[in-house]
Structure formats: C-alpha cells, structure tokens
Structure 1
Amino acid sequence: MSDLFDDPAGRSPEPERSGPRPLADRLRPTALGEVIGQQQVLGPEAPLGVMLSAGALSSLIFWGPPGVGKTTIARLLADATDLHFVQISAIFSGVPELRKVFEAAKIRHRNGQGTLLFVDEIHRFNKAQQDGFLPHMEDGTILLVGATTENPSFELNAALLSRAQVLVLERLTGDDLERLAQRAEHELGRSLPLDAAGRAALLEMADGDGRALLNFIEQVMAWRVEGALSTEALSSRLMRRAAQYDKSGDGHYNLISALHKSVRGSDPDATLYWFARMLEAGEDPRFLARRITRMSVEDIGLADPQAQAVCLQAWQTYERLGSPEGELALAQALVYLALAPKSNATYVAYKAARAAAKKTGSLPPPKHILNAPTKLMKEQGYGSGYAYDHDAEDGFSGQDYFPEEIGRSSYYTPVERGFERELKKRLDYFAKLRRDRNA
C-alpha cells in the first residue's frame, strides 16, 4: 500500500488531513502486528521478527507484487526502531533529490537520529544511482529499505544486494483478503451487499492485491442497492483487476517457464492452463509459437520427429488465420507436445559436441577423409586409405572420422522412448559392426 511522500530533505510529513480519506488509507495498520499476511517475514522466527527482537535491523529489499504491504511494513519498521522515515520514488527522483535526502540524513545522523530511507520502485534507478547509496549505507547514515516488483537478481547491482537482505513478500491469500474485507466492513459499519458467491467473486477479482480489494469495496459500498448482489450482478458493475504481467519482466519469464515445464512433465491440462494465462495477459501468440517450436526441438527431439513439423504447421496456421482462431492450432500443438515421448538426447549431445569443439580448437580431420583435388595434396596423403561406405557389403566401413589426436568420442545416447528406441537399435547395430571391423 502506497504512502504519501515525505519531503526529500527529511521534513516531517504533513499533518493528518480532516477531509475525506480513501479506505486504503483509513485502514493502514499502525503496528506490525496489524499487518495482514506476510508471516513468512514478520513472524517471531521469520527474518524481520528475529531482527526486531535482536534490535539489529539491516538494510532490506522487499520483492513482491503490488498491494501486499511493502510500503506499510517499511513505515512501521521505522516506527518500531525509532528511525526517521523518509520515502522517495525512483520514478520521480533523480540525483538532486538523492543529494538532498543524503544531506538531511547526515545532519540527523550527527544529531544521533537514524534514517530509514524507503525507496519505492528501486529497480528503476540506474547503476550509478544505485551505487550512490553504498557509502551512506556503509557509514550508517541511512538504513535502506527498497521495494521492487521485479526480480532483484536481474535489476539491482550486486554491490547493493551484498549489503541488503532480500525478503520476498507474497500475494495475499484468499483468507488474507477475507480478513481485510472484514476489517473494511467494521470500519464502514456495515456488511458488503453481496451474497456468498458474490463475495467470493469480489475477493477473486482482487487477484491477491489488498489495495485493489479495498478500492473495490469502496466502490461497492457506494452503490445504492437493495438486497445482496449475485456474482453476475457484481461482474456487470465491476471489472476485475488486470492480471499482473509484464512482457519483459519477471512475471513473463515465470509463466513461460511454467508452460515449458508443464509440457516437459507431460501434463496437457497444466500446459493449456499456462498457455491460456499468457494469452489472457496479452502475450504475443507469435512469441508463444516460437517457444512451442523450441520445446519440440529441445524436449521431444527425435523421440518424435513429427513433433517439430506439428509445431511449424501450427505456427503457419496461426499466421494464416490470426487471432483468436489461430490460437487453437497452437493449443493443439501444445497438447501434442505434452503427450509426446520426451528426449533431450540430441540437445545433450549437441552441447557436448560444442564443448569438445571449443576445447580442441583447430585440430584437422584425419587425412583419409580429406579431399585431394591436386597432385601435391595426394602426395601429402590426403584421401589415402579412405573406405567408400557404399562399397562395403552392408554399406558401413566402420572408419574413424574424428581428429587423430582425440580419437573416437561418444555424445549421442538415445533414450528407450518413442522413435529414439528405433534409433538406439541402429546405433547399437553400427557399434557392433565397428567393433567387428576393428577386431
């Protein structure tokens, strides 16, 4: 839940206003014990609980979705530790604002007062700006609490992360949202005008976002209705919160990972669920078509050689039909992949061969498989001793084709699934012939 900004120079917030206040502001907790949810960080044996009981609060990074209490917890931590609370946003603050904040914090520090600096959307600061926090964290001028909806591993400098503990805040559960709704009803002095199904639908619409739920409740309570509204009546009056999804952010990669692993795990139902989630969030079906084709190559491979063709045909069908009809072709390809036999044998072999190629540098092929278009090359032994496989009775010479310095190596090991079972038979057959030729 967001708070009003403190003055960048560190002056106290404005006095509480007597005018109308949003419900989310009126219900803001005044103590950490009033915070709903987040017991994985606030509980007695959880990181913040342990820090507070020991009287040793360190710099922190709160990572979590919107509306789960990042700002509120930061403000209450300042109250619990007698630190002066200053809040800035990386969206609206630049170097001049940061300098004012640091100078004011230095003055307070000299006067024996610590500063808890809360930086919302901290991932939006660039590397130089993030580095600017370091000396003030190290000398105790500020205790930094940053908030981000993006993965800190990708968005924050390693130097900053090494000086702060990352705490993951989770989306509110259904029980958490119900407790929040009850608190809102108590504050407003009446119950929501919803039947049981409508109430459940309202909580679902919030999608784990406490702030969104309180905004919904404020709207519902303003309606003039008689009796209890049903789910249908609620849905006609209120739009659900848009699902949190950033096509270039952490949510994007989480969902594509879930889709890929559901295919790999041979679960068509979970596969279709994550596919639908990404489409509902506005993902480009062409991106999905590309990733689906990649899955066929990486996780099915030669266990079902037809899988790649199915994906390419689905991709082409989408390009011809467009959305939404073409998305059904992609869904069919996904079901096919989920139920196909799985093998990454070629993928593993390819990576091993690439590693070997990189390690062995520029070793030449053995001379017997080199072409000899000139007399000089023939004199140098190029092509000498080459056995033409078609001349062998079984079409297999059994010669070695690796550089002489490393000898024969083995990379591809087919699995006993799908078509690769047949390929394994062929591989074993040629291995036996090679042993017989070289015996």
Structure 2
Amino acid sequence: MNPHQVDAACFALKSPLQKGVLLADEVGLGKTIEASLVIAQKWAEHKRNILLVVPASLRKQWSQELAEKFELPSIIIDSKIAADLKKGGVNNPFRQEDQIVIASYEYVARQKDRCRLIDWHLVVLDEAHKLRNLYQKKGSQRAKDIVAATDGTDFRLLLSATPIQNNLMELYGLSKVIDEHYFGDEKSFRSAYINRRNDAADLQDLKERIEPLCHRTLRRQVQEEGGINFTRRYSLTQDFTPSDDEWQLYRQFSEYLQDSQSLAIAPQARQLVCMGLRKILASSSFAIAGTLETMIRRLTLERQEVLDESLLDDLEEADDWLDAGFSGDDDHENDRDGLASPSSERLGSDMEPHARAQRLAQEIEQLQDFRTLATGISSNAKGSALLTVLDKALTMTDSLGGQRKAVVFTESCRTQMYLHSCWKPMALQAKPFF
C-alpha cells in the first residue's frame, strides 16, 4: 500500500453519517486497493452485506484482488450462477452470507428487484462514470436501475478516474448517485455553476462544496512525493493493408451477417453470435476458418441445429457478453440466459419444408465458399505487421536495457496458433497460452 491509497480510504471512512463518496484518483494509482481497504474495514466491523458493481470484464480481477491481497471471500453472481443457486434452493442470488457479492452493471440492472431486497452495508461502483447522466430525463435507464437496485444502502463508494469528460453537469449526475439532495435540483445547480461558470467565486464555491464528496490524487502528486516510480511508456504503431483475399472475405462474410433472414443463427442469439463472429473475423482468417468449419458441420451433420452462443468457444470473453446485456429472462429454466438451445429450435421451423431445405442448402454453400476463401489465405497482413513492429519494439527494449520478451494478446486461440507458427522460422521462442 502507498500513503495516498491509505489517505483515500480514510477519506471514505471519515464520517459514519455520510451517504457515500467518489474516489477519483488518476489511472494507475490504485483505486482498487483504496476501495478494498474500505471493504476490509467494513468486513472487520461485521458489516458484510457488501456489493461490488463492476464492468463484466473486471469481475474476475476484482475477486482475485480481494482474495490475494486482503484474504476476503467473494462470489461472482451472473445468470448461470444464479440458475445453479436456484437449483439449490437459493431464490435470491444476492443473499450471501460471509461472501462479498460481485456482479456486472447489466446483471444488477436487470435484477434490480432482487438486489434491492438486501440491506446493503456498502455498495462499490467501479467505473462509476457510467452513471453520470443519471440526472437527465432521457438518461441511461440502466443507470437509473442501478441506483434503484441499491436504494437504501448505507454507503455508496464510487470509483472513477474520469468523473468529468464534457461538462460540470456530469459531476452533478454523480453527486445524485451518492445523495440526490446534495446539490438540490438541476435548475439550481445550473444557475449556480453552469450559467455563470466563468465566475471565479462560483467555481471556488463549487470546489468547497464538492470537497467532502470527492477525493482525487494526480499522478504528478504521487511522483513528487516519491510514492510510485512510474515506468515510462512508449507507443509504436505499424500500418497495414489487408490483401485482396482478406478484404473479399471480410466484405462478403459481413454481408452474410447483415442478412436478418438467414436461417442458421438462432433469432434469440443473433446479436451475440454476430458480434462474436465479427470479432473472430477481425482477429485473423485462420480464426474464422475454424469457426466456419464448425458452422458447416453443425448445419449438415448435427441434425441441422441452429447456431447459438456455444459457437463462440474460441472467444474467452463470450461468457462475459452473456452477462452484458445479450441475455434474456434469467428465470428461464431450460436454457442459458434465455438463448435457444440447439435442441429446442429447428432451422426455419415455420417455413414450408421444401423452401426451408432449399434456403438452408444455399446458406451452407455460402459458408463453404467463405471457408474455401479463408483456408486459401496463407498469411495475414495484420500478422505480418505485428512481426515487423514486434522486432522494432524488442530492439528498442534491448537498447533501453530491457529483456527481449513480449506478451501478445489475441482475440482468438486459433490466431495464437497462427502467430506461433509464424515465429518458428524466425528463430523466435514463442509459447501460446489459452
């Protein structure tokens, strides 16, 4: 822990009567540690109804941080976990004893009625700037649902490195998450601080008013104090142009995905599957070739089953998407997140059999053409550009006294294997991690 992190935690804990605070340290200063210190204090006081509302992609990271650095137990709640708990007789997944509950914004918003049944001692809202348009009548419904879901909580702890991006009204919106009456109504706030924003006295008054509510530390302040020695970052870019075959594959397969009348993809899963397929397509031709092979096999050999989210097993983040607004009714008993299971829906079941068979044959032929085109591409322009810029980066690292090591993140495991095979002829040691 660093001194500024302890200061931030003390700021959050200074008054038992306060409804909440905003910790707005700049990126990289450890807001997770600051929030965890507050959580640990509440836990020690046996105030253990604690909820963390975080972006879906950060749930596992939060759980690991709490366990490894603070030895605090937690449970990640999503639709799948909720279904498993329901089978065990737990109707409200938010009701946990001696475990910190971690859930995504989307899940909490969808399950606001269940969430609000818990008397939360502490609610932590990571990336809280997602809620800053709460004050607008036509603002995010999700933001309003999140606040409603945690209504009545003892304390809300907001975390955001960017509480304001466009105007001061966003600060007003965040203040309403903590205390809806803190600045009065919107008209009063605008009159006092927006319409006369060039008035130095008014701005000073705003700083004093917000001071008990918001704590912000800047990177330069920490550097001046010698708290953290930040590593200097360098950015290298490498332009590339897809080959004619790559561009043809991208364009034609994109047109296929835009066809809302295609039979192959389950209607309930279309948004999720199409987004996943585009991610795979953008990763590499090798990635999409493997997925196309799976699509064709399922459509021809496996009783012509519709394609659902299970098609995206090459993308680790697909499970996060299921909990990020692409799922259906969480109380659906017979499927995952309300998406049709392969056995529950037949391709074009509402069509005349002959027309359905003819349309399906055309789609399979399309997919086979895409597969042929994808497998005929022996190298990707983006992969070649990566090798070029990687050599530059390693040479630069070497000149700065670093080791010739690099970590490459990919969207697809198949893309990893392609890159692994590319590096072998160059005598570069590489190992894929899935």
Larger Rg, first or second structure (1 or 2): 1
Answer yes or no: same fold by TM over 0.5.
no
TM-score, with structure 1 as normaliser: 0.28
Higher relative contact order (CA 8 A, sep 6+): 2
TM-score, with structure 2 as normaliser: 0.28
